[in-house]
Chains A and B, each alone.
Chain A
Amino acid sequence: GAVVSQHPSRVICKSGTSVKIECRSLDFQATTMFWYRQFPKQSLMLMATSNEGSKATYEQGVEKDKFLINHASLTLSTLTVTSAHPEDSSFYICSARDFAASGLSRADTQYFGPGTRLTVL
């Protein structure tokens, strides 16, 4: 089946530094990738939708200058948390849609990465 990877799986950084998280679709092309944030014992909150070759679409309340998203190829999207602060500590999960899917299944072919645990000290 389709696999989505994330790197790194865990990262600890100092306050004020920037952190880049990679999301890769390993065996399929992903025109659209999604970035979610999950606080402990809470649900996933969609942060932004990343489309290959175009600007990301951010959800209301998400600072686009704080969470930079780049989707430069059909297999890679990156999320950069700029000037990270302790309140940015969270579990970040990406998902990718399979470009090859078509018809009614197109909307539901979404595969999730294993997540990245970010801790900002």
Chain B
Amino acid sequence: AQSVTQLGSHVSVSEGALVLLRCNYSSSVPPYLFWYVQYPNQGLQLLLKYTTGATLVKGINGFEAEFKKSETSFHLTKPSAHMSDAAEYFCAVIDTGGFKTIFGAGTRLFVKA
């Protein structure tokens, strides 16, 4: 069965600093991997996704993530944090043959001025 682990329930960075949110997955087959962002009292917005091909994936709002099979990781990064990046971030995985999305526990990003 697929699973997702997000290391760190809270991450705090200063405005302009590097953002690094960690995600590790467990899968017996090549996974489809996603990062979503959720603002308070709102639904989820897709930041980026990895299915096949290039392992470095660029998403919206300057975020990118790299799929590393050897490390079973899909960490999310952004070179320079902005105040508007403060939100909850979810890493997720879906089976290539399945329909379900399995979410990690989430990481809340705080951005300090």
Contact = CB atoms under 8 A, between A and B. Distances in A.
Interface in A38-97: 41-44, 46, 49, 91, 93, 95, 97
A25 interface: no
Query: Dominant SS at the A interface?
Result: strand
Nearest to A106: B99
Interface string B81-103: 00000000010001111111111
Contacts of B36: 112
A117 B94 contact: no
A112 B44 contact: yes
Interface residues of A, number: 24
B105 A34 contact: no
* Interface size range of chain B in the complex: 20 to 34
Contact of A108 (B41, B44, B49): B49
Given A107-B94, A108-B34, A49 B99 contact: yes
Query: Which of A49, A91, A108, A115 neighbours the largest number of chain B CB atoms within 10 Å of its CB?
Result: A108
A112 B105 CA distance: 17
B43 A93 contact: yes
A13 to B, nearest CB: 18
Given A43-B90, A43-B106, A112 B49 contact: no
B30 to A, nearest CB: 11
A120 B51 CA distance: 40
B95 A107 contact: yes
Given A114-B42, A115-B43, A108 B100 contact: no
Query: Which of B42, B45, B102 neighbours the largest number of chain A CB atoms within 10 Å of its CB?
Result: B42
A110 B43 contact: no
B106 A42 contact: yes
Given A104-B51, A105-B51, A108-B94, A43 B41 contact: no
B99 A107 contact: yes
A22 to B, nearest CB: 14
Top 10 A-B residue pairs of the complex, sorted by shortest distance between their CB atoms = A112-B44, A112-B43, A114-B43, A43-B103, A115-B43, A44-B103, A43-B105, A43-B106, A113-B43, A108-B32
